[in-house]
Amino acid sequence: MTLPALLQLNPTYRDYVWGGQRLRPGPDLTAEAWIIYEGNQVIDLGLTLSEASARYRADLLGSKAAQRAAAGRFPLLIKLLDAAQWLSLQVHPNDEQAVQLEGPAASGKTEAWHILEAAPAARLIAGLQPGTQGLAQAIRDGSIIDLARYVDVQAGDTIFMPPGTIHAIGPGMLLYEVQQNSDHTYRVYDWGRPETPTRRLHIDKSIAVAQAQAAPVPLARPSLGDGQAQTLCQSAYFSLALLACNTRPADLDTRGESFHALTVIQGRARVTCEGQAIELGQYQSLIVPACSGAYQVQPLEPCQVLIAAAE
């Protein structure tokens, strides 16, 4: 089957104790929508994104990502998170640590966040206070929370989170997260919530990977022109750009190097490529395969679009 020029996926959802009701309004809480994930079904293709990655390789992933990705692995995981309560204080491994702790097929978790909605007093925990010492003991006895560094955030902020950084997302936020295709999360502290078989602390692993001086990288807000995209962050694993289209369409091109994962975060847009057209509303996504090349984003109303690509 020929790879379509544009791919839409059925998102999957995760229900955790800290979730809210913005992702799936209703009586139940939803914490995360996994909107670009290798386990998602690709609409009209009859394959999961993992199966499509194995079948189409460089055509889907691009010349750069296909060389690095293991067979059947899509290199990124993109989520929307609705935090109604504090998430656990946590830390992620880098690639080398992940292999040591989780096995030879494991990868680390480098990530970046873009804040979509934020309550007036929304805060993150982002690293530890300067001069922190005795990190291992503080993790063991729970006093690590007293060493946390709190950061105020608002909608439109972008934060790059390196592995080894102790962090937590606070209540009152809806955010977009792009990361390596890894969900290795080590809980350091969980606000007194009781441990369960599916929600445990990971004290020894946290001590093995946490770095007292590690800190996130806050990124400058771009000055966006109509129909223009600007890079928000660039890492060894992914890039993230923000496109604004008020009245003008934007002409973009994968150049065969990487897929583009598009998520509309404001307004509505129509994406067209090779005679195919898909309309997206707020918080809807699609993938432009690397082999699709040139494509266009047309505003159906003033819109902003996040564009993630693999490195």
20 and 88 assigned to the same domain:
yes
State pLDDT tens for residues 96-152.
999 999 999 999 999 999 999 999 999 999 999 999 999 999 999 999 999 999 999
137 and 196 assigned to the same domain:
yes
171 and 303 assigned to the same domain:
no
Say how far apart CA 233 and CA 82 lie, in whole Å: 22
Say how far apart CA 178 and CA 37 lie, in whole Å: 10
Say how far apart CA 111 and CA 178 lie, in whole Å: 6
Q: Residue 55: what are its φ and ψ, rounded to 5°? A: -75, -45
- Report the CATH number that the domain containing residue 270 is assigned in CATH: 2.60.120.10
Tokens at 161, concatenated = 């989170």
What is the mean predicted confidence (pLDDT) over 219-227?
Answer: 85
66 and 187 assigned to the same domain:
yes
Say how far apart CA 304 and CA 155 lie, in whole Å: 13
Q: For residue 72, what pLDDT is reported?
A: 67
State pLDDT tens for residues 164-189.
999 999 999 999 999 999 989 999 99
232 and 89 assigned to the same domain:
no
118 and 267 assigned to the same domain:
no
Asked whether residue 65 is domain-assigned, the answer is yes
Please state, in angstroms and as integers, the Cα–Cα distance from residue 62 to each residue in 54, 107, 286, following that order. 12, 20, 16
State pLDDT tens for residues 268-302.
999 999 999 999 999 999 999 999 999 999 999 99
Q: Return the closest-CA partner of residue 112 out of 232, 260, 258, 229.
A: 232
pLDDT above 80 for 163: yes
Asked whether residue 4 is domain-assigned, the answer is no
Mean pLDDT of the chain: 95
Which of 184, 201, 219 terminates a domain? The answer is 219
Say how far apart CA 125 and CA 167 lie, in whole Å: 5
Domain count, the chain: 2
Q: Place 71 in a pLDDT band, splitting at 50, 70 and 90.
A: low
pTM here is: 0.96
Asked whether residue 278 is domain-assigned, the answer is yes
- Higher-confidence residue: 163 or 218? 163
233 and 281 assigned to the same domain:
yes
280 and 178 assigned to the same domain:
no
Q: Residue 249: which domain range?
A: 228-310
Which of 173, 199, 219 terminates a domain? The answer is 219
